[in-house]
Amino acid sequence: MSIAQERRFALLITLAALLLFSFYGLTTPLFEASDELWHYPLVQHFASGGGLPVQRAGQTDAEAPWRQEGSQPPLYYWLAALATAPLDDSDWRALRRINPHGDMGVPTRDGNVNAILHTPQERAFPWVGAALAVRVARLVSVLLSAGSVWFAYRAAEQLFPRHSTQDSRAWLRLSVPLVVAHTPMFAFISGSVNNDNAAVFFSTMGVWWALRVWRHHDLSLRSAVVAGLLSGLGALSKSSALGLLALFGLAALLARGAAPSSAWVWAWDRARWITVMTLMALAISGWWFVRNRVLYGDWLGWNAFLDVVGRRDVPATLAQLWSEREGFVWSYWGVFGTMNVIYPAWVYDVLNGLALVAGLGVAWRLARGKVSAVGLRALLIGGAWVGLTFVALLRWTSLTPASQGRLMFPCIALLAAGLAYGWWAWHRVVLAGGALVLVVLAWVTPLWIIAPAYAPPAEGWVRPLAQRVDAVFGGAVLLAEAEADARAVRPGDTATLQLNWALLQPVARNYSVFVHLVDEHDVIVAQRDMHPGQGRLALSELPAGYRWSDFYAVRVPAWALAPATLRWVVGIYDHATGDRLPLANGTDRLFLSDDLSLTLQPAERTTPLLRYTNGVALLAYTASARVLRAGETLTITTQWQLEQPPQGTWAISLQLLDEGANKIAQHDVGQPLAEWQRGALVTLTHPLAVRADATSGVYRLLLVWYSPQDLKRAPAYDARGQFVGDQIVLTRFRLP
């Protein structure tokens, strides 16, 4: 294949990517892409003439609808604002009706994935107002990401250079932009309003330029200015792109050039180049970091960002980050919506298998010495950028929950090159097969996975249900039928309730439904809240006579206190005010007739309820009573096992608190874990003396392990290895 033919193929891949990204943008409902409901308000703010926002903790959605994104560098938002400024998007808040029950970041069995209660106005064509403006802003992202695809090809030219005009590695080079464009998560983000698209664009250009500087030994003033320009624009898109300065510096150090007359000349050439590059970057973006320092006390503005988005209670350990690896890998390949719409598990298995094949291919080439010295230098430069991006992400993720593989996209060109090279190392057929899987998957995903997740349910009942209810809430909403899927569950299981509804007359508010599982003492053990239609219907917009079916998957906590008898409770309320629709008998809750037995786990169960980083695991616990009495003592007995060698002395604390954190009992005791025998069962008793003046209400039982020296709390993980916090609510008690 000639150079001209290869370039034409690369251009066709770029144009196809532009269409693919647009396809994702058209299929994904407005504000349903990752953080788009925060990114777009900042675009709108700039488009309407607003200045740089000043971030403060506790700002409301009315004050700062961009939330943490107001701490992001502004270049992407300025570009999108420039494109949307001529449009009247004053109705954007009417379209951005936030779903207060949306399971953002949490894939669920029963839907409720939508971040927004969507309106017919959003879907009406031709688009007008904000419905058009958001899509125009998405188009800016599409164009930027199409540019990333093109520069991924240019980077591949540097990684796998031509040895002749008819080089046999043309398909290897062309596979790199093909893999970039058809990584489903990259295509999804590319069709959304997200500043990652600008950061990836400048980073991919930076990777190409750094490889070019190294390969062509170009330490000219021009190349330094271009490197500084890309670094500065990247840093103004997202702070993570600051790492381009280090990438360019490494490329300059590895560039050989003509034989220098002395070591001083060699050092001077590189020092001059790096200085010019750095000064150029600072001239473009330095003001932003100075502003952060003045306003927030740190150069990157992380303090303000974390104040808004939320910090982890304690910085994550490597063990904790490792427990989040599955979600990290999945979100590199594709986790859609607001990080809650996922593929079937087998798709991730196939994609991970393809990555493993590629990794083995690269290792095989290295082991056989098939990689030249020049290739090893290219691997060093590319690996340095991937490693720098990954380490920076680990640092950021340790501070706030952000274990998302898509944050590795600034080096997606290099990751795609690794995949393509690894497949090519085995055979061209393997390369073609791996690329074909990604191409097919990327094109079918919008209609197979994304669109169905947000499609309004069909009107009518799915099927008749076993229990006739005929309860009317507020004289308007009929709960006609119900059916539970089980009569007994164990802690950690999920119980499902199906309900058939009908609207007898229109209502003025978008009411929500709550489904509770309560025990014999009317204490909520588990619950699920959502809007009708699995969260996708706005009740105020439905006509009289409309019928729909809902199902609710309610997970009982793994450490719920058993045995117990649970009952299903259903109600309808206005989330904004808390007002509930009453039944004809004057109550605002409907108890369904079916009971649910919460049974003990089998005696042979060996999986701990909780594992702590201090080496201990909670196997079980019991309570001396199920109802609190003022002035009396509640005894909690816990069973533990030491799984890892302990470090230091730890204390365990159990506390009883109401929802306002008012404490009515506490018991702390130090534990020298070095005295515990590894693997042996240890039983602890915790007498909790309830205050005599404790008032009626529901109190939560809080469990904490902490270090007496610095009060640092030990993080806990559940049976799946997922981090669940360092203050665990074991159960709740009612005080009559």
Q: What is the pLDDT of residues 178-200, one digit of tens each?
A: 999 999 999 999 999 999 999 99
Mean pLDDT of 383-409: 88
Mean pLDDT of 62-79: 96
Mean pLDDT of 390-394: 90
Percent of the chain residues topping a pLDDT of 90: 78
Q: What is the pLDDT of residues 617-626, one digit of tens each?
A: 999 999 999 9
Q: What is the overall mean pLDDT for the chain?
A: 93
Residue among 41, 37, 131, 43 at smallest CA distance from 81: 43
Contact between 334 and 443 under an 8 Å Cβ cutoff? The reply is no
Does the bond joining 452 to the residue before it have cis omega, within 30 degrees of 0? no
The pLDDT score that the predictor gives to residue 661 is 86
CATH number at residue 676: 2.60.40.2550
Contact between 378 and 250 under an 8 Å Cβ cutoff? The reply is no
Domain's final residue, options 598, 624, 644 = 598
The pLDDT score that the predictor gives to residue 720 is 77
Rounded distance between C-alpha atoms, residue 635 and residue 686, angstroms: 6
Domain's final residue, options 540, 572, 598 = 598
471 and 558 belong to one structural domain: yes
Flag whether 365 is in a domain: yes
Flag whether 265 is in a domain: no
pLDDT over threshold 90, residue 589: yes
Cα dihedral value 141, 146, 152, 153, nearest 10: -170
Mean pLDDT of 240-257: 91
Of 336-350, 539-553, 570-584, 592-606, least confident by mean pLDDT is 592-606
447 and 482 belong to one structural domain: no
304 and 395 belong to one structural domain: yes
pLDDT band at 451 (very low <50, low <70, confident <90, very high): very high
Does the bond joining 563 to the residue before it have cis omega, within 30 degrees of 0? yes
Cα dihedral value 290, 296, 300, 306, nearest 10: -170
The pLDDT score that the predictor gives to residue 395 is 84
193 and 329 belong to one structural domain: yes
Contact between 104 and 338 under an 8 Å Cβ cutoff? The reply is yes
The pLDDT score that the predictor gives to residue 604 is 57
Mean pLDDT of 311-333: 80
pLDDT band at 166 (very low <50, low <70, confident <90, very high): low
147 and 64 belong to one structural domain: yes
168 and 33 belong to one structural domain: yes
The pLDDT score that the predictor gives to residue 258 is 53
Domain's final residue, options 418, 451, 484 = 451
Q: What angle (nearest 5°) sits at the alpha carbon of residue 602, between those of residues 688 and 718?
A: 60
Give the CA distances from residue 389 to residues 76, 204, 286, 384, 405, in Å, rounded to whole numbers and listed in that order: 20, 13, 21, 8, 11
Flag whether 234 is in a domain: no
Name the residue with higher pLDDT: 413 or 398.
413
pLDDT over threshold 90, residue 225: yes
Burial class (CB in 10 A: 0-12, 13-18, 19+), 444: exposed
Name the residue with higher pLDDT: 368 or 147.
147
HEC string of 43-84?
Answer: HHHHHCCCCCCCCCCCCCCCCCCCHHHHHCCCHHHHHHHHHH
pLDDT over threshold 60, residue 370: yes
Q: What is the pLDDT of residues 268-308, one digit of tens each?
A: 999 999 999 999 999 999 999 999 999 999 999 888 888 88
pLDDT band at 580 (very low <50, low <70, confident <90, very high): very high
pLDDT band at 715 (very low <50, low <70, confident <90, very high): confident
Flag whether 572 is in a domain: yes
Total of domains in the chain: 3
Flag whether 217 is in a domain: no
Strands, sheet with 467-473, edge to edge from the N-terminal-most edge strand: 467-473, 477-484, 494-503, 547-555
pLDDT over threshold 80, residue 602: no
560 and 698 belong to one structural domain: no
The pLDDT score that the predictor gives to residue 58 is 86
622 and 682 belong to one structural domain: yes
Q: What is the pLDDT of residues 510-529, one digit of tens each?
A: 999 999 999 999 999 999 99
HEC string of 336-386?
Answer: ECCCCEECCHHHHHHHHHHHHHHHHHHHHHHHCCCCCHHHHHHHHHHHHHH
Name the residue with higher pLDDT: 148 or 105.
148
491 and 539 belong to one structural domain: yes
The pLDDT score that the predictor gives to residue 372 is 78
616 and 505 belong to one structural domain: no
Strands, sheet with 524-530, edge to edge from the N-terminal-most edge strand: 488-489, 590-598, 564-573, 512-518, 524-530
Flag whether 251 is in a domain: no
Residue among 171, 163, 226, 237 at smallest CA distance from 199: 237
pLDDT band at 548 (very low <50, low <70, confident <90, very high): very high
Residues 6+ apart with CB under 8 A from 670: 649, 650, 651, 708
Mean pLDDT of 209-236: 96
The pLDDT score that the predictor gives to residue 261 is 63
Give the CA distances from residue 191 to residues 24, 31, 55, 421, in Å, rounded to whole numbers and listed in that order: 5, 11, 27, 27
Flag whether 151 is in a domain: yes
The pLDDT score that the predictor gives to residue 396 is 81
pLDDT band at 207 (very low <50, low <70, confident <90, very high): very high
Q: What angle (nearest 5°) sits at the alpha carbon of residue 562, between those of residues 560 and 567?
A: 85
CATH number at residue 527: 2.70.50.60
Please report the DSSP string for 639-679 in residue order. EEEE-S---SEEEEEEEEE-TT--EEEEEEEEEEGGGSPTT
List helix spans (H) across 114-220: 120-123, 129-159, 170-181, 184-190, 196-215
Sign of the CA dihedral running 451, 457, 458, 464:
positive
State CA 505 to chain mean position distance.
39
446 and 520 belong to one structural domain: no
pLDDT band at 702 (very low <50, low <70, confident <90, very high): very high
pLDDT band at 260 (very low <50, low <70, confident <90, very high): low
pTM of the predicted structure, to 2 decimals:
0.91
Residues 6+ apart with CB under 8 A from 299: 289, 290, 292, 293
Mean pLDDT of 575-592: 96
Rounded distance between C-alpha atoms, residue 347 and residue 70, angstroms: 36
417 and 494 belong to one structural domain: no
Range of the domain at 370: 3-197+299-451
Rounded distance between C-alpha atoms, residue 332 and residue 330, angstroms: 5
Percent of the chain residues topping a pLDDT of 70: 97
Residue 731 phi/psi, 5° resolution? -165, -175
pLDDT band at 397 (very low <50, low <70, confident <90, very high): confident
The pLDDT score that the predictor gives to residue 257 is 60
Flag whether 459 is in a domain: no
Mean pLDDT of 648-658: 93
For the chain, what is the radius of gyration of the CA atoms?
A: 29
DSSP class of residue 242 equals: G
